[in-house]
Amino acid sequence: MAASFRVAVAVTCALVLATACQGLQVGYYNKSCPRVEHIVRDEVKKFVYKNAGVGAGLIRMLFHDCFVQGCDGSVLLDPTPANPRPEKLSAPNFPSLRGFEVIDAAKDAVEKACPGTVSCADIIAFAARDAAYFLSRFYVKIDMPAGRLDGRVSNASEALDFLPPPVFNITGLVGSFAAKGLDAEDMVVLSGAHTIGRSHCSSFVPDRLAVPSDINASFANLLRRRCPANPTPGNDPTVNQDLVTPNALDNQYYKNVLAHKVLFTSDAALLTTPATARMVLDNANIPGWWEAKFKKAFVKMSQVEVKTGKQGEVRRNCRVVN
Ligand code: HEM
Ligand SMILES: *[C@@H]1O[C@H](CO)[C@@H](O)[C@H](O)[C@H]1NC(C)=O
Ligand SMILES: *[C@@H]1O[C@H](CO)[C@@H](O)[C@H](O)[C@H]1NC(C)=O
Ligand SMILES: *[C@@H]1O[C@H](CO)[C@@H](O)[C@H](O)[C@H]1NC(C)=O
Ligand SMILES: *[C@@H]1O[C@H](CO)[C@@H](O)[C@H](O)[C@H]1NC(C)=O
């Protein structure tokens, strides 16, 4: 790389948000694939308008991709004889993670327009960003930097190592986000994604339905009616995370936390330190506050441990390494 170009990049980075500058750029495909962001958005729109839950799945997919091997599309890789246990088969992802068919459709459409140009990692980031846009009724609008490369490593055991389980307390949660360069406020703000989508009963039974519990008694009773006492793979229904506005990406999650009507120990844990409880209150009560913080934290999360240069490739098929 020419020294003058490096200097230009450094200067540009000094001028924009520090978080938008780990080698990624907004409009990265301006020249090489100018329509990519439109193409992905149209695919996401089709799927999300048919089933809002798929949009929730895409937002969660970005989180699960980024926390394991960085945001590199590793969560998309299918099992092979040489690698029978990729991330997507790990307990945090299988069978709950959804939206893979949207990524496949987007990748097919993008490959037709610009073969071999756009990484699967960037497609996940664009798709998650678009899902947030549609589910927030066009309120959460994010300029998504791009230029991520796809990884070649995907191991289920690493998903267990890095994805925080729903039984974590505040110490565990802060620690797992810190391990990815995200702070306690990022963690609180990103947990607000639990304002959409669903959970399988097995993710909170029996943990949250034991007595005594801090959970609202009538909410707990509702969950007891909807969930078996011992969920099994063959009998594991789902419930919505947010009973008030189940498909809206809004700040209702924080009102649910305050009302003790949330599914996970990790959600309730946000009230267990004064600093994080304060953030919950602000997110619940100040209009527009959470949405502004969410946009920043989302972009920050989308840049965790991204691969550039020789560390990755642009996969032709998102499910297999080249
Ligand atoms: C703070 C730590 C977190 C924990 C412990 C956690 C845990 C979980 C669990 C257990 C589920 C239910 C999965 C199922 O049984 O179907 C879930 C769902 C979900 N999570 Fe999280 N999560 C966390 C953070 C995040 C973050 C950072 C995001 C994205 C910004 C996110 C987005 C979602 C979404 C959208 C769903 C619904 C998915 C669907 O409907 O398919 N979560 N989470
Ligand atoms: C791509 O184009 C947009 C809109 O004109 C501009 O804001 C952005 O900085 C451009 N990015 C690159 C990397 O060229
Ligand atoms: C995945 O990680 C585990 C634990 O470190 C290791 O035993 C296993 O060999 C790895 N699998 C592959 C295919 O690299
Ligand atoms: C959080 O959980 C860890 C691991 O289970 C435990 O050692 C620790 O004491 C807990 N911390 C708090 C503040 O409850
Ligand atoms: C639990 O929720 C119910 C129904 O919304 C409400 O009437 C009740 O006051 C709540 N319980 C407590 C202890 O806040």
- Under the phi-then-psi rule, with left for phi > 0, alpha for psi from -120 to 50, and beta for the rest, what region is 99? left
- Report how far ligand 5's centroid is from the alpha carbon of 216 (Å): 6
The pLDDT of 8-24, averaged and rounded, is: 48
pTM beyond 0.85: yes
Range 25-166 classified under CATH 1.10.520.10? yes
Contact (Cβ atoms closer than 8 angstroms) between residue 87 and residue 77: yes
- Report how far ligand 4's centroid is from the alpha carbon of 171 (Å): 6
Residue indicated by tokens 């799945």: 57
- Choice from 83, 157, 161, 162 to test ligand 3 binding pocket (greatest atom count within 8 A of CB): 157
d(CA 296, CA 107): 26
Residues of the chain above pLDDT 70, percent = 93
The pLDDT of 223-239, averaged and rounded, is: 98
Q: What is residue 139's predicted lDDT score, i.e. its pLDDT? A: 98
Q: What is residue 213's predicted lDDT score, i.e. its pLDDT? A: 86
Is 74 one of the annotated binding-site residues?
Answer: yes
Is 170-174+177-297 in the same CATH topology as 25-166? no
Task: Give the chain's radius of gyration (CA, Å).
Answer: 20
Q: Whose CA is nearest to atom 8 of ligand 4?
A: 171
- Report how far ligand 3's centroid is from the alpha carbon of 155 (Å): 6
Tens digit of pLDDT for each residue in 125-184? 999 999 999 999 999 999 999 999 999 999 999 999 999 999 999 999 999 999 999 999
200 is catalytic: no
- Coil, strand or helix at 317: strand
Q: Whose CA is nearest to atom 7 of ligand 5?
A: 218
Which member of 38, 64, 200, 260 is catalytic? Answer: 64
**What kind of fold does domain 170-174+177-297 have according to CATH?**
Peroxidase; domain 2 (1.10.420)
* Ligand 3 atom nearest to CA at 84: 13
- Ligand 2 and 26: CB distance under 6 A: yes
Tens digit of pLDDT for each residue in 85-121? 999 999 999 999 999 999 999 999 999 999 999 999 9
Contact (Cβ atoms closer than 8 angstroms) between residue 203 and residue 226: no
* Phi, psi values for residue 160, rounded to 5°: -65, -35
List the chain domain ranges: 25-166, 170-174+177-297
